[in-house]
Amino acid sequence: MARYDVAPHLVFWETTKACALACRHCRASAQHTALPGELSTAEGLALIDEIAGLPAPRPIMVFTGGDCFERPDLFELVEHATGAGLRVGVSPSVTPRLTPAAMQRLYALGVRSVSISLDGAGPATHDGVRGIEGHFDKTVAALEMLVSMGFRLQVNTTVMRRNVTELADIAALLERLGVGIWEVFFLVGVGRGANVDEISPEMAEDVSHFLVDVANRGMTVRTVEAPFFRRVHEQRLEADVEDPATHFGLGELYRELSAELGPRRADRIGHSATLATGDGRGIIFVAHDGEVHASGFLPVSLGNVRDETLGSIYATHSLLTELRAGHLGGACGVCDYSRLCGGSRARAFARSGDALGEDPACLRVQEAQTAAR
C-alpha cells in the first residue's frame, strides 16, 4: 500500500456529463448534452501523458462519464492511452452507441476491460432505475455481446432499498451470462442519488456477508463506497464457520439472500480481489472540467489539472495525505480494521461534511454510537 502514497492504482476520468439515460441514482447528474468546460482533446491527451508518466507500476485508466461514447474523440484518446502503455478500461452506457463495431474498434486498440451497469434482476426494477422502458433486455444483450467478444467484463450494481432483495437473482443471472466480476456500489446520496433510499447499516452488514458467499462461488467481488466488505471478508476467514448467520447475528435479509443463492459450488475457490484502496488512497477521479476529487462520490475539489499536475495533487494535497495516514475520526479512527477498511470517505462527507469522519453505513459505527449514549 505504500506505493499508493505517491501514485494511484486507478484513475477515473469523467470524460463527459453527456448521457442518453436519466438514471435515478446517477452520481454525475448526467444530462443529454455536454456541459461547457469539458477538457478538450488536447487537454485530454496531455492528461493521458501525465498519467503515463506517473511512477511505476502505471495506473489503470478508466474512461467513464456520463457516457464515454458521447465523446466524439473517444477512440483517439483511447489509442493515445494504450499507445502510452496504459491499461485502459471503459465504462459506457447501454445506448445505441454501444455497437459491436464500436467495441471491436476498442478491442483492436487494446481495450480489454469493460464495465456495464445492471441494477435489477428484471425489467421492472432495472428499467425503473434507468428511466427507459426495455433497457433491461438491451443490457442483457450487451452483456452477452461483450462476453462473446472476449472482453474482461465487469457488471456494476448500485445497492439501494429498491433492489436489495434482488441481489441473489442478479448474481445468478451474472453466473448464467458468464460474467466473472461483480462490482457492487453501496449508494451514497450525491447527485440524483440524494433522492434515493440508502440501505441501513444492518442491511449493509447482511449484504456484505452475502457478497462473501458470492465470492465463495468463484465470482470476483468488489465493492465501491463499502470498504467494510473487506472487514467482513476478513472476519469470515478468521471465524471459518458453517453458519455465519448465527455466528455473526445476521438478519433476515442475509438469510433470504443466502438461501436464494444456494450452496457453495464445489468446483470453485472462494476469493475476493478487493485491494485495500479507497477514496484518495489508490483511487483518484478527474471530472469533466478537470477538477480532481478523491472519488466521483466525494465532491471536494482538490485542484484542477489545468492548473497543476494530477500527480502533484494526488501526492501532496493535505486531505489526501491525512486520509492515507489514517487520521480518521470517530469509530473509524479507533477500529481494529481501520487500515484494511477505513470507511467510506464519500459517505462520511455526505452525512457530516467531514471527509475524515466516521462512515454511518458501517454497523460497527452504529454500535459504537449506541454504546456511547
Contact 324, 338 (CB under 8 A): no
In terms of Cβ atoms closer than 10 Å to its own Cβ (0-12, 13-18, 19+), residue 259 is exposed
- Residue at 253 is within a domain: yes
Model pTM score: 0.93
Using CA atoms, how far apart are residues 187 and 41, in angstroms rounded to an integer?
A: 32
> Residue 109 is placed in which grid cell?
486498440
Nearest 5°: the CA angle 116, 287, 280 is 85
- Residue at 36 is within a domain: yes
Domain that residue 26 falls in: 2-261
Identity (one letter) of the amino acid at 285?
A: F
Answer whether the bond into residue 57 is a cis peptide, omega within 30°.
Answer: yes
- Residue at 48 is within a domain: yes
Residue 6: CATH number of its domain: 3.20.20.70
- Residue at 295 is within a domain: no
Nearest CA among 344, 333, 334 for reference residue 280? 344
Pairing between β-strand 60-64 and β-strand 181-186 as defined by DSSP bridges: unpaired
Dihedral class, residue 343 (left if φ above 0, else alpha if ψ from -120 to 50, else beta): left
Residues ≥6 apart with Cβ < 8 Å to 147: 153, 177, 178, 179
> Residue 26 is placed in which grid cell?
446517477
- Residue at 247 is within a domain: yes
Report how many domains make up the chain.
1
> Residue 68 is placed in which grid cell?
464515454
Beta-strand ranges (E) seen in the chain are 10-14, 60-64, 87-90, 113-117, 152-159, 181-186, 220-224, 278-279, 282-286, 292-293
DSSP 3-state assignment of 102? helix
Nearest CA among 184, 212, 214 for reference residue 199? 184
Residues ≥6 apart with Cβ < 8 Å to 187: 25, 158, 159, 160, 193, 196, 198, 199, 225
- Residue at 367 is within a domain: no
Nearest CA among 14, 1, 23 for reference residue 117? 23
> Residue 15 is placed in which grid cell?
470524460
Q: Residues 52, 54, 56, 61: is their CA dihedral positive or negative?
A: negative
- Residue at 180 is within a domain: yes
Give exposure, 322-355, as e/b (b: 16+ Cβ within 10 Å).
Answer: ebbeeebebbbeebebeebbbbbbbbbbbbeeeb
- Residue at 219 is within a domain: yes
Residues ≥6 apart with Cβ < 8 Å to 30: 17, 18, 19, 21, 22, 23, 65, 66, 67
Which pLDDT tens digits describe the chain residue by residue (373 residues)?
Answer: 688 999 999 999 999 999 987 666 554 555 677 889 999 999 999 999 999 999 889 999 999 999 999 999 999 999 999 999 999 999 999 999 999 999 999 999 999 999 999 999 999 999 998 888 999 999 999 999 999 999 999 999 999 999 999 999 999 999 999 999 999 999 987 554 454 688 999 999 999 999 999 999 999 999 999 999 999 999 999 999 989 999 999 999 999 999 999 876 544 444 555 567 889 999 999 999 999 999 999 999 999 999 999 999 999 999 999 999 999 999 999 999 999 999 999 999 999 999 999 999 999 999 988 888 7
Confidence (pLDDT) at 196: 60
> Residue 120 is placed in which grid cell?
435489477
Confidence (pLDDT) at 30: 53
Confidence (pLDDT) at 25: 53
* 21 φ/ψ angles, rounded to the nearest 5 degrees: -90, 170
| DSSP states along 8-50 | -SEEEEE--SB-S---TT-TT--BSSPPTTPPPHHHHHHHHHH
First to last CA, the chain: 36
> Residue 197 is placed in which grid cell?
433510499
Q: How many CA atoms lie within 13 A of 156 on its CB side?
A: 19
Using CA atoms, how far apart are residues 219 and 187, in angstroms rounded to an integer?
A: 22
Contact 135, 120 (CB under 8 A): no
Dihedral angle over CA of 336, 342, 348, 352, nearest 10: 50
